[in-house]
Structure 1
Amino acid sequence: MTEDPIVQITGVQELARDLVVIPDRRVPLVPNIGLVGGTHSVLVVETGLGPANAETVLEFTAAYAKGRRLYLTSTHFHPEHAFGAQTFAGEATYLLNRAQATDLAMKGPGYLEMFKTLGEPIARRLEGVELATPDLVYDDAHDLDLGGRVVRLRPTGRAHSKGDQVITVPDAGVMFTGDLVEAGQFSIFPWFPPYDTDVSGTRWIAVMERLAAESPRVVVPGHGDVGGPRLLEDVRDYLELLRDETWARRDSAMSEETMVEEITALMIERHPEWTGRDWIEKGVGCLCAEH
């Protein structure tokens, strides 16, 4: 049976003054959820999968905020990150980059139906989902003043999705990456031709190079343990190796099936402790198309 992707308020990590993460506890389809506070406002990063999980997050947030104004954002439109936003309606200002807002409107309904097929616990979590419309949409950059603390929201351009957004807290050196970075897991390539081919391995590498150059003190991945800047370098190095090994075999006219077998074996040898091995094949397929 598929594990219930339930958000639990346990093991909350304080990363800096007035900045905490509700950890995913290594449960599939539970994201790391952030709360960033200033003197007059609190920003919530990610909602959890569906309204009930979002209610848990909102209840914790309300107690944490102690009357401060609430904002909500998500790193990208995928269901466990954004499909609880309706719960915050009337309680928080929902803020997104334009590409993500477009993803949510155009692709959200299809992803909702697809995720409902992934198991009974997931379908149950998605009952009653209504895709929310953001209150504020920005294009190139948004600096959110929480009172004595400014949070930077920046779209990265197409990588894991078209609408990826990174949230950084400069005074604390903290970066929320969403699924651009996973800790202890192979990169998730949502490569499902012909239905979804928005992920780009080559653009993802370029994004990781830019993020690594920022050298944050703390990196909060979409899934997995919070870490340091090494997480950014690990993902960049993995994606570069995946590209190089795929393209070298593509040039030799090897069958894709043999390519997948060889590259999967190589990657598991390099990272035997990482989970999500099925995503290697999706990454090879994506990079073959980008060759």
Structure 2
Amino acid sequence: MAEQTMLEPVVDLAGLRELARDMVVISNRRVPLVPNIGVIGGRHSVLVVETGMGPRNAETVLKFAADYAKGRKLYLTTTHFHPEHAFGARTFAGEATYLINRDQAEDLRLKGPGYVGMFRGLGELVARQLEGVELGQPDIVYDQAYDLDLGGRVVQLRATGRAHSKGDQVVQVPDADVLFTGDLVEAGQFAIFPWFPPHDTDVSGTRWLAVMRRLADDRPRVVVPGHGDVGDAQLLADVRDYLQLLRDETWARRDSAMSEETIVEEISALMIARHPEWAGREWIEKGVGCLCAEHCA
């Protein structure tokens, strides 16, 4: 992840883009460790999706959202607990109602402190954004599904079950046919597998693939990935197809009793040849490790 410290992970409002009526995304401009951030409006309320990493980024997002809301009630949700997505939630306390699924709330409580330390170790530019960070506490915790009425627009929050993390959530806006995926989907990048045994092994390649099959079947008009350029349903198909190929090629080699080191070498070469333009090549190895562990599970 050394390449991720080359640019400071700062939310930049220059990345603002309109997705539909009363709905914008603050694009991450392909800056590592900056998420795509959604702001979704209805008659009486506005929902913010993601906070950016740490209090300073969150202050930028909150100020923009408050100005955008023009007096409407503010809500906040995050697609999963990882630092660039959720570690600014404390800044919204008292200004917005924070709602997430139960598994994500548990991830935040149990794993959040460890991830603060881990991400600070990624370099000075990342550590700077985490100065003074305090983990947020959700105001509303739901189990599997929550329909949020913003006034004339209902936003559907759906826990997907364990995939990229244990508490993944997608955010659907049916009237505009827009889907926010968090890190279940990245554009122009190999899938991020936070496979860090023995510290964190919640990511599941097989369950992630099952989630992507369901999402791809819905074919939304607009897909907002966790990182990278906004796209359409092809983004979902790309991730589905990559995960399926990664699983099949890993398991075929595992069946032949090939060493994991050799599997990584062969599959990395195969995937890079298929997607030479994709970033995040270091995540291929993590994906192979995860799927090797799941092979006989």
TM-score normalized by structure 1?
Answer: 0.99
Does 1:170 pair with 2:166?
no
Residue of structure 1 aligned with 2:228, choices 224, 228, 249: 224
Between the aligned partners of 1:242 and 1:210, the Cα distance in structure 2 is: 18
Matching residue's letter, 2:55: P
Residue 51 of structure 2, aligned match among 17, 24, 47 = 47
Note if 1:80 corresponds to 2:80: no
Counterpart check, 1:192 vs 2:196? yes
Opposite residue 286 of structure 2, the aligned amino acid is: K
- Mapping 1:56-205, distance limit 5 Å: 56-205=60-209
Q: Distance in 1 between matches of 2:15 and 2:260?
A: 43
Contact 1:83/1:131, CA 8 A, preserved across alignment: yes
In structure 2, stretches of 5+ residues that fail to align are: none
- Do residues 270 (structure 1) and 274 (structure 2) align? yes
Q: Secondary structure at the match of 1:105?
A: helix
Secondary structure, aligned partner of 1:81: helix
Paired position in structure 2 for 1:16: 20
2:39 is aligned to: 35
SS where residue 14 of structure 2 aligns?
coil
Any idea what SS the aligned residue of 1:10 has? helix
Deviations 1:196-239 (A, max 9, x none): 00000000000001111111100000000000000000000000
Q: Is the 8 A contact 1:2 1:120 kept in 2?
A: no
What's the offset of the Cα at 1:46?
0.2
Q: Distance in 2 between matches of 1:44 and 1:202?
A: 30
- Supply the RMSD in Å over aligned alpha carbons: 0.6
Please state if 1:212 is matched with 2:212: no
Q: Any stretches of 5+ residues in structure 1 without a counterpart?
A: none
Aligned-pair distance for 1:2?
A: 3.2
SS at match of 2:121: helix
Give the whole-Å Cα distance in 2 for the aligned partners of 1:132 and 1:274. 33
Contact 2:15–2:28 (8 Å) recurs in 1: no
1:11 Cα deviation (Å)?
A: 3.0
CA–CA separation in structure 2 for the residues paired with 1:112 and 1:32: 20
The amino acid of 2:71's aligned partner reads: G
Q: Secondary structure at the match of 1:118?
A: coil
Equivalent AA in structure 2 for residue 211 of structure 1: L
Letter in 1 for 2:166: K
- The one-letter code sitting in structure 2 at the alignment partner of 1:289 is A
Q: Which runs of 4+ in 1 moved over 3 A?
A: none
Q: Does residue 249 of the first structure (1) align with residue 253 of the second (2)?
A: yes
Per-residue Cα deviation, 1:140-178 (whole angstroms, up to 9, x for no partner): 210000000000000000000000000000000000000
Give the conservation status (yes or no) of the 8 Å contact 1:2–1:119: no
Residue identity (%): 78
Q: 2:239 & 2:218 partners in 1: Cα distance? A: 15
Q: Which amino acid aligns with 1:63?
A: D
Whether the 8 Å contact between 2:250 and 2:291 is mirrored in structure 1 is: yes
- TM-score, normalised to structure 2, is 0.97
Amino acid of the residue matched to residue 80 of structure 1? E
8 A Cα contact 2:88 2:133, kept in partner: yes
1:71 Cα deviation after fit: 0.1
**CA–CA separation in structure 1 for the residues paired with 2:134 and 2:277:** 37
